[in-house]
Structure 1
Amino acid sequence: MKKPHLPRMTFNRYFAAIFIMALIPVSVGVMYEQGSSTEITVLTIPDAPHGIVFIADPHLRDANMDHIREVIAAINELHPSVVLIGGDFVYGEGEDLALQEVWKEVDAPVYAVLGNHDYKSGDSGTGAIQKTLALRGADLDPDHYDLGCMKDEDPEGYAYADTLTAVLEENDVHVLRNEYTEMEIDGKTLCIVGVDDGWAGMADPPSHPEGDGFVIYMIHEPECRADWDADLILAGHTHGGQFIPPGVDGLASDGLVRLSGLVTDDSTRTYITRGVGTSNLEVELRLFATPEIVVINP
């Protein structure tokens, strides 16, 4: 029996193989550098008060605390009027809730909503697929908005969210769970409406006072938003794709992909942040989706 003939390794193939192998550590290095850095995105919205800072998805754990402290230092340098956090405070299993003490370092009032990780809802690959499919049964009409189909059967996650909320409140983070708050900034009224997590089936937007103030809705998952009566919706969750190839962001203008950035179509203006942390990884790795701090009218 003849031995199988292996294809001859030509010089071009050999060079290509060496080149690809050399790119692997370089690519990982680039992803680590991008995941550990932060960009500041400026939104200019004429009617909005000055100095509103928005971040999301910190996913606190021991490994990224230095990065989060750098994020907080960068936020403080912006001299914010208020800081908004769009959920996913925790990372995964066995996290130390004492890490949430870091938010006391923010030099401004902090308001937040919870995310799916904070409810331990759909926080695995399989769970995320199940939640995406379940969302087909939701009613996103603002007049009778209903995400009851997204609720989990296991009550453990809901109890965990209550515990996390108490810890955040102790550390100067005011968690809005289907609540609103109003404040005066530069003589303008800002109304912040916090919508509880959609994937956990807890989203139930409250009514808020009508007036001339600037209204911001916060919800963790952008796909759970509705065409609410607001000036701006802020969301996170997507991490900007985390490993997004060049050109994919361009599909957003065609309505095919909504991973990050300002969405200005026929519905309420929305900004989807790339977030500041990563999930389901042992190290901070990102590619073409650098963590970001969003500041409105700095």
Structure 2
Amino acid sequence: MVTAVLLVLLGLCAGAAAVMAVLMVAGAFRSRIIAEEIVLAGLPGGFDGYRILFITDIHRRRLPAALLEEYRGELDAVFLGGDLTEKGVPLKRLRNNLALAASLAPVYAVHGNHDYQAEIRLVDQLIRSSGARLLVDENVKLECSGAEIVLTGVDFPRTGGKRAYHALPPVTARDDGAFRIILVHDPLWLAQQKEVPADLILAGHTHGGQVVLPFIASRHADEFYRHYNAGMYDLPAYGNDTYQPKMLISRGFGTAHLPLRWGSPAEMHLLTLRCRQE
């Protein structure tokens, strides 16, 4: 009798584990776009309503053409936040993803750690040949309705490590104090900054934990990730009297290592910038 009960319990556990595994795989291949407005002090009026499609951590996935093509003609820019690919992914997949992104709006991209583990020379050739602007520790001006802002792309350290980042590229005297967006793959970059001369930071890398089980605390080794995991954050400690940066950390579109997600669904972001009404 006891043996029969144990077998039933084991069977139930195995069945539950199988169902959970299926759900985790299904969660890894969801395609959803989170639309949100970001209200920003200091945003030039010409950029009120500026729309950015922000995608990070694509890894091995194919971007969903049927979903994204609905936004053609409705976007001002596409920002790719690193890990556009990874080792072993066919270059054709990266080429197709970039072509789709470039068909929607001007594309700006930065490297992630997995990009450097792939054939980086070929990866960079594909990025640039697609028409995307690859930002390697450099600034670019964005223009809209006669107004300008500065976009800074922070390159992931080619050698890895937490302290190998280069200093932020300086802006010109003319652009000193201009509204600035920083695109960086790993938000841990922030932990090495005493002050961030920017108004908005867009990052990824964390996958929101990717597999987040209930009643189990975050196992991130670095304290920074236990606080800055996924979502929108105000960063008063990194600002000054004239600005308080905001940071969005995306859970990313793809997965690292295994195609599994639980409690941290895949996401892309449709960001609409708004001026703060005084």
The structure 1 residue matched to 2:91, chosen from 97, 100, 121, is 97
User: Contact between 1:58 and 1:68, CA under 8 Å: does it hold in 2?
Assistant: no
Cα distance in structure 2, aligned partners of 1:23 and 1:237: 30
Higher strand share: 2
Equivalent residue, structure 2, for 1:114: 111
How big is each residue's C-alpha offset from its partner over 1:78-125, in whole Å with a ceiling of 9 and x where there is no partner? 8211010011122223x33232222122310000100111112xxxxx
Equivalent residue, structure 2, for 1:286: 261
Q: Does 1:229 align with 2:197?
A: yes
Q: Does 1:207 align with 2:170?
A: yes
Give, in angstroms, the shift of residue 166 of structure 1.
1.9
Q: Does 1:36 align with 2:32?
A: no
Give, in angstroms, the shift of residue 274 of structure 1.
0.7
Distance 1:251 1:274, change over 3 A: same
Superposed, 1:161-172 pairs within 5 Å as 161-172=120-131
The structure 1 residue matched to 2:229, chosen from 252, 259, 277, is 259
User: Contact between 1:215 and 1:231, CA under 8 Å: does it hold in 2?
Assistant: yes
SS of 1:52's equivalent? strand
How big is each residue's C-alpha offset from its partner over 1:161-196, in whole Å with a ceiling of 9 and x where there is no partner? 343212210012210001111122244423110011
User: Contact between 2:73 and 2:105, CA under 8 Å: does it hold in 1?
Assistant: no
Cα distance in structure 2, aligned partners of 1:218 and 1:68: 23
Equivalent residue, structure 1, for 2:51: 51
Distance 1:30 1:187, change over 3 A: farther
Unaligned runs of 5+ in 2: 239-244, 274-278
Give, in angstroms, the shift of residue 250 of structure 1.
9.4
Distance 1:250 1:279, change over 3 A: closer
Q: Does 1:181 align with 2:177?
A: no
User: Contact between 1:249 and 1:257, CA under 8 Å: does it hold in 2?
Assistant: no
Distance 1:212 1:42, change over 3 A: farther
Cα distance in structure 2, aligned partners of 1:78 and 1:40: 16
Cα distance in structure 2, aligned partners of 1:84 and 1:183: 12
Equivalent residue, structure 2, for 1:144: none
Give, in angstroms, the shift of residue 34 of structure 1.
1.4
Instruction: Please tell me the residue identity of whatever aligns with 2:171.
Output: H
Cα distance in structure 1, aligned partners of 2:54 and 2:76: 11
Cα distance in structure 2, aligned partners of 1:286 and 1:80: 29
Q: Does 1:245 align with 2:213?
A: yes
Q: Does 1:192 align with 2:155?
A: no
Distance 1:229 1:31, change over 3 A: same
User: Contact between 1:169 and 1:175, CA under 8 Å: does it hold in 2?
Assistant: yes
Across the aligned residues of Structure 1 and Structure 2, the Cα RMSD in angstroms comes to: 3.0
Equivalent residue, structure 2, for 1:84: 79
Give, in angstroms, the shift of residue 32 of structure 1.
2.0
Instruction: Please tell me the residue identity of whatever aligns with 1:52.
Output: I
Distance 1:219 1:247, change over 3 A: farther
Q: TM-score, normalised by structure 2?
A: 0.76
Instruction: Please tell me the residue identity of whatever aligns with 1:205.
Output: L
Distance 1:36 1:167, change over 3 A: same
Instruction: Please tell me the residue identity of whatever aligns with 1:214.
Output: F
The structure 2 residue matched to 1:217, chosen from 182, 186, 199, is 182
User: Contact between 1:245 and 1:288, CA under 8 Å: does it hold in 2?
Assistant: yes
Equivalent residue, structure 2, for 1:135: none
Cα distance in structure 2, aligned partners of 1:78 and 1:9: 65
Give, in angstroms, the shift of residue 238 of structure 1.
1.1
Unaligned runs of 5+ in 1: 1-6, 121-156
Cα distance in structure 1, aligned partners of 2:93 and 2:23: 27
Q: How many residues align?
A: 244
Cα distance in structure 1, aligned partners of 2:73 and 2:7: 51
User: Contact between 2:137 and 2:152, CA under 8 Å: does it hold in 1?
Assistant: yes
How big is each residue's C-alpha offset from its partner over 1:202-221, in whole Å with a ceiling of 9 and x where there is no partner? 54420124356431101111
Q: Identity percentage over the alignment?
A: 25
